[in-house]
Amino acid sequence: MSNSKEHEDGIHDFKTVIVSKESKRMTRRGNGVGVATSAPPRTAKRGQSAPVRRTAETAPKAVRATACDGGAAGIDLAAPGSDRGRPEAAEIHRTESHRPPDPRCPACRRGDLEPRGGARRKTVWDCPQGSVPVRLTVEFRAWVCPMCGHTIDPKTAWIAPGCTWIEPGVPVTPGLARHLEEELRGGTVADLLRRTGVQHETVTTLIDRIGQDVQHAMAHGLLPPARVVGLDGKKLGNTHHLVAADLERRRLLWCAKGTEDTASVAAFIRSLPGWQDIEVFVCDFAPGFESGIRRAYRGLSQPRIVRCLLHAARGFLDAGHAERRRLARGRARGKLPPLNRIFTMRADRLKPAHRALLRRLRENMPSLFKAYCFKEAVYGLFTPGVTAAIAEARLIRLQRWMERDPEMERVFRKPMETVRKHHEQILSGFAEDCVATNNRTESINGQLDALDRATKGLARRAFARFRVRALLRCGALPPELLDIIRAARLAAYAADAADAETP
């Protein structure tokens, strides 16, 4: 079926062909309708009947009606393979012809453009219709003005910015490229290939091109800078990585290979987009973070460093678990109750059975009960509405508690020394323009783990592609930002093509 339509970049004639799975299987075997072959027909072997060659008259009805708009072939695209006996469509072939939007010559405005030479064809994949892949073939011609001789090269049809036919460097349409990018944010590549019909190399090329766009955007300052950044280390496989998250926008900022030593942290900070505009860094108590930040901003205005209060609370929780394991090894007072889960739960979320267990714990193991209460007092600093003055007063009460109780001093000595050492950096996180915890960075680390498992170790095999997948999944490259980067890339691509054609 042929028709015509008008786009921003020209008027196009198009034809749609729906190919059913039955006809596609017959075509692959070489006996389908419309297959041009020069091989002689097969002859029957001794004792066998001659094979029947399918023609337009002997082929099934669904195979004969492949060149149509879908309704004439009886193929329901909305419900392929339905129980009404309709064949399931394997893919849809569309052919579109490109013509200039204005028949007048753009140079002299007197003559009408005329086609010159044969048509050039380019086949790309388009957005699928439901679960049916769509293959698009675009025909381009050269057009010349008989009055002034001005020629329009068909190559400019897919190089010009805003082209609606093909994505530069990838055999897909811009609409399918956007569709692939959205699917890569949460889906798997295997499902994506099955629904769209594209090859794995096409998706890989698209990921590599997005990575080049990101590098180009970082070099030209197109990525938005962050004001409050969370730093953390992450081990994927056998390789250590550094992760930076924008805590205000709650999304991944950047990730790279490196350990938590001073030199690696300093180099990683200098690679962040807009690193000189960062005001606050939130990190854990690893010594390499503070020294690396100081080295990266040597001679510049030093940013504020906030120690994550969540890591401090985890130190007290780990100390409580260590005391629980010590008592479990002793077994001096009979069987130890199952406290692994209850020691992690908050007091306001305990069920009646857990509260009864705590009462038994207070009678039989007072040291472990006091450890649980001490841990709850530390986690009480996360209560909404807590200011720096309230947090400082609560920390002072905890220190006095430890001074009065030698047993708590023995259990929580190491985490309390960490809190005393970084007292000011912990309290600075309670300011109104800051963030006290690094929870969002920890959540992103979990997403990186899930992505590495889903891609079967892509971080180890090709880290650049893994980083692009991580940026897409964790919200670092929203669609509007990708459109800005893509517009800049297309402009640079067109400028380079124009320079190459200039003698």
* pLDDT band, very low/low/confident/very high, at 247 (cuts 50, 70, 90): very high
What distances in angstroms separate CA 17 from CA 36, 72, 94, 114, 134, one per listed residue?
A: 18, 11, 6, 28, 10
Q: How far apart are alpha carbons 478 and 476 in whole angstroms? A: 6
CA dihedral 59, 63, 68, 74 (to 10 degrees): 110
Strand partners, 97: 13, 139
Task: Provide DSSP, 376-425.
Answer: HHHHGGGSTT--HHHHHHHHHHHHHHHHH-HHHHHHSHHHHHHHHHTHHH
Q: Which long-range contacts (CB under 8 A, 24 or more apart) does 413-421 make?
A: 414/315, 414/319, 415/312, 415/315, 415/316, 415/318, 415/319, 418/285, 418/312, 418/315, 419/312, 419/395
- Tell whether the model's pLDDT for residue 495 goes beyond 70: yes
The confidence band for 10, taking pLDDT boundaries of 50, 70 and 90, is very low
Q: What sign does the dihedral 349-352-355-357 (CA atoms) show?
A: negative
Which residue from 266, 245, 270 is spatially nearest to 255, judged by alpha carbons?
245
**What pLDDT is stored for residue 395 in this prediction?**
85
Kindly list the domain boundaries of the chain, sorted by start residue.
1-27+62-77+87-160, 167-307+457-503, 309-430
Return the pLDDT at 264: 95
Q: Which residue has the higher pLDDT, 459 or 56?
A: 459
pLDDT tens figures, 262-307: 999 999 999 999 899 999 999 999 989 999 999 999 999 999 999 9
What average pLDDT score do residues 103-131 get?
81
Which two tokens mark 178? Answer: 């956007």
* pLDDT per residue as tens digits for the range 119-171: 778 788 888 887 788 888 888 788 888 888 888 776 554 444 445 566 666 77
Is 177 in contact with 206 (CB distance < 8 Å)? Answer: yes
Cα dihedral 443, 448, 449, 450 in deg (nearest 10): 90
Smallest CA-to-CA distance from 415 within 382, 371, 384, 385 is with 371
The pTM assigned to this predicted structure is: 0.71
Contact partners, residue 99, CB within 8 Å, separation at least 6: 10, 11, 12, 13, 141, 143
User: What pLDDT digit, counting tens, does each position of 177-215 carry?
Assistant: 888 888 888 878 888 888 888 888 888 988 998 898 898
Confidence of residue 56 (pLDDT cuts 50, 70, 90): very low
Please give the CATH topology (third level) of the domain spanning 167-307+457-503. Nucleotidyltransferase; domain 5 (3.30.420)
The answer on pLDDT for 331 being more than 70 is no
Higher pLDDT pick, 498 / 219: 219
Inter-helix orientation angle 200-219/479-501, to 10°: 90
Which of the pair, 91 or 60, is modelled with greater confidence? Answer: 91
